[in-house]
Amino acid sequence: MIDIKELWSKRQAQHFKEINRYLRYMLNDHLLIALLFLGGGGAYYYNYWLQDVPKDFPYAIIIGLVLGIILTGSRVQTLLKEADLVFLLPIEKN
């Protein structure tokens, strides 16, 4: 019988190993330092922008719309594979 917790930990470790490999290439060549400066500068100006925003500004609606558009446009990332449809369905409980 398949142990779900063991399968999950194997898939998660495999996923983190793949992400780690890509991050090693991406953060090479001083990209991390540039991202830190951009993030710090963005946070600095965001703080000043927040002080100028009026109290009745509909920020929740705007943030909701922006996040909704971003999330509906992105693809769903799971740790499932094609064979899981066949092999994991029989062990599901009703």
User: How high is the pLDDT of residue 1?
Assistant: 63
How far is residue 42's CA from residue 36's CA, in Å, rounded to a whole number?
10
Neighbour-count burial of 84, counting CB atoms closer than 10 A to its CB (0-12 exposed, 13-18 middle, 19+ buried): middle
Global confidence as pTM: 0.51
39-87 pLDDT per residue, tens: 999 999 989 988 888 889 898 899 999 999 999 988 877 777 777 777 7
User: How high is the pLDDT of residue 74?
Assistant: 86
